[in-house]
Chain A
Amino acid sequence: MKRRDFLKGCLIGGAAASLGAPSKSWAVGSFEGYPDAMGVLVDTTRCIGCRSCEAACNKEQKLPEPDVPFDDTSVFKEKRRTTEKAYTVVNRYEANDGQKPPYRKMQCMHCNEPGCLTSCFVNAYTKTKEGAVIYNGNVCVGCKTCMVACPFNIPAYSYSSAFDPLVKKCIFCYHTRLKFGKPPACVEICPQEALTFGLRSDLIKLGHERIRQTPDRYVDHIYGEKEMGGTSWLYLSRVPADQIGLDTTIGNEPVISNVKDFLGMVPMVLTIWPALFSGIHLLATRNKDHGDDHHNHSEQEGDKK
Chain B
Amino acid sequence: MKKLITSGAITVDSIHKSSGRKWTIMEKLFLGLTLPQYIGQALRNPLNWIFAIIFAVGIPIILGRFFFGLSWVSHSSNDYPWGLFLAFGLFGMVPLSSSGFLLGSACEVFGRHDLEPIERLGLLNGLLGYFFAVVFLLIDLGQPWRLPFPMVVSFGPAAVLFLVAWHVSTYLSVQIAEVSTSFFEWIGFPIGVRAIRKITLGLAISGIILSTLHQGALGALFTYAPGKVHPLWYSSSYQWIHFFVSSIPGGLCMVITVSTIASKTMSWRFDKRFKDSLDRITISLAKGASMGLATYLVIKLMSIAHDNKWAYLATGYGQWYLVEIMIGVIMPMCLFAYAIHHNKVAIIRFSALLVVIGIFLNRLNTALITFNWKLSEREIPHWREVAICVTVYAIYIVVYRFILYRLPIFYQWKTQEEFALAYVPETEITNLGNFEPALAYATETEANAFRNTETVTS
Q: Which residues of A approach B to under 8 Å, CB–CB?
A: 4-6, 8-9, 11-13, 16, 19-20, 22-23, 26-27, 81-84, 115, 118-124, 136, 139-145, 147-149, 151, 153, 155-157, 159-162, 164-166, 247, 249-251, 255-256, 258-259, 261-263, 265-266, 269-270, 273-274, 277-278, 280-281, 284-285, 288, 290, 292-301, 303-305
Q: A148-B82, A296-B413, A300-B113 are in contact. Are A262 and B239 (CB under 8 A)?
A: yes
- The A-contacting residues of B in range 129-170, CB under 8 angstroms, are 141-144, 146-147, 149-150, 153-167, 170
Enumerate the 7 nearest inter-chain pairs by beta-carbon distance, A residue then B residue, closest first. A142-B142, A26-B158, A144-B81, A262-B220, A162-B69, A149-B224, A8-B202
Decide if B8 is an interface residue (CB 8 Å cutoff). Answer: no
Decide if B175 is an interface residue (CB 8 Å cutoff). Answer: no
Tell me, rounded to whole Å, the shortest Cβ–Cβ distance linking B202 to chain A: 4
Q: What's the Cα separation between A6 and B204 when bound, in Å? A: 11
Interface contact B142-A23, CB-CB below 8 Å: no
Tell me, rounded to whole Å, the shortest Cβ–Cβ distance linking B382 to chain A: 11
Contact check: which of B142, B240, B452 meets A265 at CB < 8 Å? Answer: B240
Residues of B within 8 A of A145 (CB): 81, 159, 161, 221, 224
Residues of B within 8 A of A259 (CB): 160, 220, 223-224
Residues of A within 8 A of B161 (CB): 119-121, 143, 145
Decide if B125 is an interface residue (CB 8 Å cutoff). Answer: no
Residues of A within 8 A of B159 (CB): 118-121, 145
Tell me, rounded to whole Å, the shortest Cβ–Cβ distance linking A111 to chain B: 13
Q: What's the Cα separation between A214 and B270 when bound, in Å? A: 83
Contact check: which of A115, A266, A304 meets B224 at CB < 8 Å? Answer: A115
Interface contact B156-A123, CB-CB below 8 Å: yes
Interface contact A120-B199, CB-CB below 8 Å: no
Residues of B within 8 A of A273 (CB): 205, 208-209, 212
Interface contact B205-A166, CB-CB below 8 Å: no
Q: What's the Cα separation between A292 and B194 when bound, in Å? A: 11
Q: A9-B201, A121-B159 are in contact. Are A295 and B107 (CB under 8 A)?
A: yes
Contact check: which of B113, B208, B228, B240 meets A295 at CB < 8 Å? Answer: B113
Interface contact B209-A258, CB-CB below 8 Å: no
Decide if B114 is an interface residue (CB 8 Å cutoff). Answer: yes
- The A-contacting residues of B in range 53-75, CB under 8 angstroms, are 66-72, 74
Can you offer 21 A-B residue contacts whose CB atoms are under 8 A?
Answer: A6-B201, A16-B210, A19-B170, A23-B157, A26-B158, A81-B78, A118-B159, A124-B154, A141-B147, A145-B161, A149-B225, A157-B78, A159-B69, A255-B226, A256-B158, A278-B201, A280-B110, A284-B111, A292-B197, A299-B448, A300-B113
Tell me, rounded to whole Å, the shortest Cβ–Cβ distance linking A259 to chain B: 5
Q: A119-B160, A295-B113, A298-B273 are in contact. Are A262 and B67 (CB under 8 A)?
A: no
Which residue, A118, A251, A273, has most C-beta atoms of chain B within 10 A? A273
Contact check: which of B70, B110, B162 meets A121 at CB < 8 Å? Answer: B162
Residues of A within 8 A of B120 (CB): 295-296
Q: What's the Cα separation between A165 and B143 when bound, in Å? A: 7
Q: Which residues of B approach A to under 8 Å, CB–CB?
A: 66-72, 74, 76-79, 81-82, 105, 107-111, 113-114, 116-117, 119-120, 141-144, 146-147, 149-150, 153-167, 170, 197-206, 208-210, 212-213, 216-217, 219-228, 236-237, 239-240, 273, 277, 374, 408, 412-413, 441-442, 444-446, 448-449, 452
Interface contacts (Cβ under 8 Å), in number, total 270
Residues of B within 8 A of A294 (CB): 197, 442
Q: What's the Cα separation between A115 and B227 when bound, in Å? A: 12
Q: Which residue of B lies closest to A82 (CB)?
A: B78
Interface contact B166-A20, CB-CB below 8 Å: yes
Interface contact A141-B109, CB-CB below 8 Å: no
Q: A121-B159, A157-B142, A262-B216 are in contact. Are A13 and B76 (CB under 8 A)?
A: no
Q: A13-B209, A119-B160, A258-B236 are in contact. Are A19 and B71 (CB under 8 A)?
A: no
Q: What's the Cα separation between A141 and B166 when bound, in Å? A: 15
Contact check: which of B74, B113, B156 meets A293 at CB < 8 Å? Answer: B113
Interface contact A12-B202, CB-CB below 8 Å: yes
Interface contact A16-B170, CB-CB below 8 Å: yes
Interface contact A159-B74, CB-CB below 8 Å: yes
Interface contact B113-A301, CB-CB below 8 Å: yes
Tell me, rounded to whole Å, the shortest Cβ–Cβ distance linking B286 to chain A: 19
Q: A122-B155, A278-B205 are in contact. Are A261 and B113 (CB under 8 A)?
A: no
Q: What's the Cα separation between A261 and B222 when bound, in Å? A: 12
Tell me, rounded to whole Å, the shortest Cβ–Cβ distance linking A168 to chain B: 9
Q: What's the Cα separation between A258 and B71 when bound, in Å? A: 31
Q: Which residue of A lies closest to B216 (CB)?
A: A262
Q: A122-B156, A292-B197 are in contact. Are A156 and B445 (CB under 8 A)?
A: no
Q: What's the Cα separation between A4 and B305 when bound, in Å? A: 46
Which residue, A22, A142, A259, has most C-beta atoms of chain B within 10 A? A259
Interface contact B167-A301, CB-CB below 8 Å: no
Q: Which residue of A lies closest to B64 (CB)?
A: A162
Residues of A within 8 A of B201 (CB): 5-6, 8-9, 278, 281, 292
Interface contact A160-B71, CB-CB below 8 Å: yes
Contact check: which of A23, A250, A288 meets B163 at CB < 8 Å? Answer: A23
Q: A119-B159, A144-B142, A280-B109 are in contact. Are A299 and B445 (CB under 8 A)?
A: yes
Q: What's the Cα separation between A69 and B200 when bound, in Å? A: 66
Q: A139-B154, A148-B224, A301-B273 are in contact. Are A12 and B203 (CB under 8 A)?
A: yes
Residues of B within 8 A of A81 (CB): 78-79
Interface contact A277-B105, CB-CB below 8 Å: yes
Q: A9-B202, A288-B111 are in contact. Are A269 and B224 (CB under 8 A)?
A: no
Interface contact B69-A160, CB-CB below 8 Å: yes
Residues of A within 8 A of B147 (CB): 141
Contact check: which of A8, A22, A261, A265 meets B236 at CB < 8 Å? Answer: A261
Residues of B within 8 A of A155 (CB): 78
Q: What's the Cα separation between A28 and B198 when bound, in Å? A: 41
Interface contact B160-A12, CB-CB below 8 Å: no
Residues of B within 8 A of A298 (CB): 273, 412, 445, 448-449, 452
Q: What's the Cα separation between A27 and B452 when bound, in Å? A: 59
Beyond the given A261-B240, A277-B105, please list 6 additional residue pairs across the A-B interface where CB-CB is below 8 A.
Answer: A165-B69, A278-B205, A292-B197, A294-B197, A298-B412, A301-B114
Interface contact A258-B202, CB-CB below 8 Å: no
Q: Which residue of B lies closest to A270 (CB)?
A: B209
Residues of B within 8 A of A277 (CB): 105, 109, 204-205, 208
Q: What's the Cα separation between A302 and B66 when bound, in Å? A: 53
Residues of A within 8 A of B146 (CB): 122, 139-142
Which residue, A124, A153, A270, A295, has most C-beta atoms of chain B within 10 A? A295
Interface contact B78-A261, CB-CB below 8 Å: no
Residues of B within 8 A of A136 (CB): 154
